[in-house]
Amino acid sequence: MIDKQSLVDQVIARLEADLEKLTNAAKEARDYATDSECKSEGKYDTRGLEASYLAGAQAEKSEELAEAISVLSRIKLPEHPPHVANGTLVVVSDVTSGEDDAYFILPAGGGIELETELSEHPTTVITPQSPRGEELVNHSPGDFLDGGDRFISEVI
């Protein structure tokens, strides 16, 4: 049996690492923007302004990552889900190729890939709001997806 909480912990660890890098980058950009060497040398010199915009955007992204970490820290993972929902692992099988793709539906962390034994490929974290997430949510094992070549073979 797959330990879903362990997978969530891996996603949180990656987001925390990203948050630390981004926080450091925002501090560097803020420091550069306020440094005396960054003072404008003419009316077309916008280095300081651009650095302040960058620092602001990085700070905003840092807040988003902190919120994502907080949300994932509180997620309730369903034990025996009847259909695809937040906190479920989903295996999608292709009838034609015989290949499986695995997804972990979470409210944050979309795009992160995790190694699991569900598929030959990494398990991809997707959010319910993503196009693939919207396609999968509320479907049950055995349901065919649009196009008819792919079906949900497992919901964990």
Domain end call among 44, 73, 102: 73
| Per-residue model confidence (pLDDT) at position 33 | 67
| Phi and psi angles of residue 2, each rounded to the nearest 5 degrees, phi first | -80, 135
| Per-residue model confidence (pLDDT) at position 18 | 95
| Per-residue model confidence (pLDDT) at position 72 | 98
**Residues 52, 96: Cα–Cα separation, whole Å:** 52
Indicate whether 79 belongs to any domain. Answer: no
21 with 48, same domain: the answer is yes
Indicate whether 97 belongs to any domain. Answer: yes
Domain count within the chain:
2
| Per-residue model confidence (pLDDT) at position 151 | 96
In this prediction, residues 38-57 reach a mean pLDDT of 73
Percentage of the chain exceeding pLDDT 90: 69
DSSP for residue 120: S
Domain end call among 42, 73, 104: 73
| Per-residue model confidence (pLDDT) at position 105 | 98
Q: What is the pLDDT of residues 69-78, one digit of tens each?
A: 999 999 999 9
| Per-residue model confidence (pLDDT) at position 25 | 84
| Per-residue model confidence (pLDDT) at position 44 | 66
Question: What are the tokens at 98?
Answer: 């015989």
